[in-house]
Amino acid sequence: MSRRTDGPSRSALFSAPIVNRHVADDVVDRLVTAVALGLYVTGQQLPTERELATMLGVSRTSIREALKQLTENGYLEVRRGRNGGYFVLSDWGPKSAEHVQRQLVANWDEFEQIFDARELVEPLIARTAAQRRTETDLTAIRAALQDYIDAPDHDASRSADSSLHLAIARATQNHILVEMSVDLRTRISLNLGAEPYTDEVRRRAIEQHKDLVSAVAEGRAEDAANIAAVHFTLSEMLIRDLVERAAKVAQDKETAP
C-alpha cells in the first residue's frame, strides 16, 4: 500500500502520516474514532485546520475535505463568526462502527504494544519521580493537580492532565523518560493531543491523581508505581470498550433480518 505524499515521513503508526486509501477518508476514520472515545466531546470545538494538519501530518486540503464529510454526516457543525469553527455535534453515527474498526481493529497489534509499553514505563516513571523529586518539581506537580481538580471544561481538564503527567515525568530528572512518556501519550491519543475521556473516568482520575501526587511528594516509590499502573489503564479500558461496541454493532448488522 502506497503512502500519501502531503506530510512528513515518520515510522511509528500514530506519529506517522496517515496512509492511503484516500487521505481525507483516513482522517474521517480517525476523527470519528476520536469523538467516539471522548478525545473531543459533544459541544467542544475542534482544533483549527492548521493544527489538525500538523497533528496528523497531512495537508490542510485533506483536513478540509474530511471536516466537510463529517459535517455533512452529522458529526460536526460549523459556527461562523469570531469564535467560530467546527464543533462536535454527535459522538456516534450510523457508520461509526465502520470507522472505528478501520482505525482501531485494523491496527490492534500496535495498540496492544502501546498498552504494554505504558504498563512497563509509567510505573517506572512514577517510582523514579518519588525517589528524585525536588521542591521545584513538587510545586509544578501540585499546581497541575489543582488545575485538574478545578478544570471547568474538557479543554482545561485535558491540558491540566497533560501538565500533571509531564511534571511527574520531569521529576525523574531523566529527559529520555520524559520523551517516552510524551510519545506514549501521543500514540494512545491518535496524535490528537488528548486521552480518551468520560465524566466517570475524570471522577476516577481525580482521586488517582491525588493519590499519585501524595505518593510522589512523600517519597513512597512503590505506592507511586502501583497507583500509576492502575491509573494508566483508564484510556486502555475506554479503547477496548469502544472496540467491543463497534464489533457488537457490526455483528448485529450481520444478523439482522
The reply to whether 114 and 200 lie within a common domain is yes
CATH code assigned at 72: 1.10.10.10
- Give the pLDDT of residue 4: 40
The reply to whether 167 and 81 lie within a common domain is no
- Give the pLDDT of residue 193: 84
Residues sharing a CB contact under 8 Å with residue 31, sequence separation 6 or more, in sequence order: 40, 46, 66, 70, 75, 192
**Residue 87 dihedral angles phi and psi, to the nearest 5°:** -120, 145
Number of separate domains in the chain:
2
The reply to whether 177 and 203 lie within a common domain is yes
The reply to whether 215 and 193 lie within a common domain is yes
In the chain (257 residues long), the average pLDDT of successive 10-residue segments reads 38 50 91 96 94 96 97 95 92 95 94 97 98 98 98 93 97 98 95 91 97 98 98 96 93 77
The reply to whether 114 and 195 lie within a common domain is yes
- Give the pLDDT of residue 175: 98
Residue 6 in domain = no
Residue 177 in domain = yes
Residue 3 in domain = no
The reply to whether 115 and 50 lie within a common domain is no
The reply to whether 118 and 45 lie within a common domain is no
Domain final residue pick, 93, 125, 149: 93
Residue 15 in domain = no
The reply to whether 160 and 239 lie within a common domain is yes
The reply to whether 155 and 181 lie within a common domain is yes
Residue 256 in domain = no
Domain residues for the domain of 230 are 105-245
- Give the pLDDT of residue 12: 47
* pTM beyond 0.75: yes
**CA pair distance 61, 59, nearest whole angstrom:** 5
- Give the pLDDT of residue 250: 84
